[in-house]
Amino acid sequence: MASLSHEDLKEWPAGRFSYERHRPEETLLYRIIQEHWVSTASGAAGPHPEGRHLPAFVKQEFEGFLAFGRLDRGFLQVLRGVSRLETGGL
């Protein structure tokens, strides 16, 4: 796959690239996991007759899934074409 250079992109019409935020919280999968995760995780953390529990990596993956794409959990602002002096070192 060929990659585009900065020079190639400068020749494209303005507005050719656009970004629309993903909204994971609006998907059915997200809502199902969000609704059942707390009870599943807390039930698995408690005593179990056979000593079963959820591995730490499973908890990390589900919690990461629920946090991904949520602006209330933090975000990254990417600046292009702006010097470090103009952004205060960002």
pLDDT digit string (tens) for 45-57?
555 556 567 888 9
pLDDT > 60? residue 90 = no
CB of 16 within 8 A of CB of 61? no
Q: In whole angstroms, how far apart are CA 90 and each of 19, 80, 83, 86? A: 21, 11, 9, 9
CB 70 within 8 A of CB 24: yes
Query: Is residue 83 pLDDT above 70, yes or no?
Result: no
- Amino acid letter for position 29: L
- Residues whose CB is less than 8 angstroms from the CB of residue 30 and which lie 6 or more positions away in sequence, other chains included: 24, 65, 66
**Has this prediction a pTM greater than 0.95?**
no
Rg (CA), the chain: 21
Does position 21 have pLDDT exceeding 70, yes or no?
yes
